[in-house]
Amino acid sequence: MSKKIVQDKERTVNLSKKLIIVPAAFLIGLLSVVGGTKYEKEIRQMLSQPTANKPQSQIRILPSEGTVERVIDGDTVVLADKTIIRYVGINAPNKNEKYYEEAKEANRKMVEGKKVKLEYDAYTSDAFGRVLAYVWVGDKNMSIEMVRLGWAKVELMQDRRPLKYQEELQKI
């Protein structure tokens, strides 16, 4: 590693012996700007290295795409990388509720085994640790499709800012 030297009128500083702390949140935000460039790999590598101050469980790099490995229910899927994705803005029947199997099957037919794009809103995780995202298959938003088909209902949280597709969901 080459030593980088900075000189000014008063002092010389050897930067190779200085620790520069960059908040992980800043680096994660920076990924959206540098995604697809030569810097993306370096930033992801920095984020993956454990440090004494940074518990790994607090840092999550949100995928921008993936392949749906399996469908849990009408509003939740698991990607091939094991990330659990919960659709934003909707609620489908849970296990042991009426129409659970039908909603799960409708979702399975649309997404299972397919490559999907993921889009995020203001809130990116829920109380259960699932990633909240809009799942896109081609030009179709699965939150909107599940509501349009009648297998899910729109679910908005009180006292939260409006969702990106809130108006579109409410029109259905």
Q: Which is more confident, 20 or 168?
A: 168
Beta pairing class for 131-137 and 84-87:
parallel
| Angle of helix 24-34 versus helix 38-48 axis, rounded to 10 | 160
Q: Write the CATH number of the domain with boundaries 65-171.
A: 2.40.50.90
Backbone φ and ψ of 145, nearest 5°: -65, -45
The Cα–Cα gap between 151 and 154 comes to 10
Burial of 64 (0-12, 13-18, 19+ CB in 10 A): middle
Computed from CA positions of residues 61, 64, 65, 69, in that sequence, does the dihedral angle turn out positive or negative? Answer: positive
3-state secondary structure the chain: CCCCEEECCCCEEEHHHCCCCCCHHHHHHHHHHHCCCHHHHHHHHHHHCCECCECHHHCCCCCCEEEEEEEEECCEEEECCCCEEEECCEECCCCCCCCHHHHHHHHHHHHCCCEEEEECCCCCECCCCCEEEEEEECCEEHHHHHHHCCCCEECCCCCCCCCCCHHHHHHC
Work out the pLDDT band at 70, boundaries 50, 70, 90: very high
pLDDT per residue as tens digits for the range 122-151: 889 888 888 999 999 999 999 999 999 999
Using the predicted structure, report yes or no on whether residue 55 has a pLDDT greater than 60. no
Q: pLDDT tens, 92-109?
A: 999 999 999 999 999 999
- In the chain, what are the domain boundaries? 5-58, 65-171
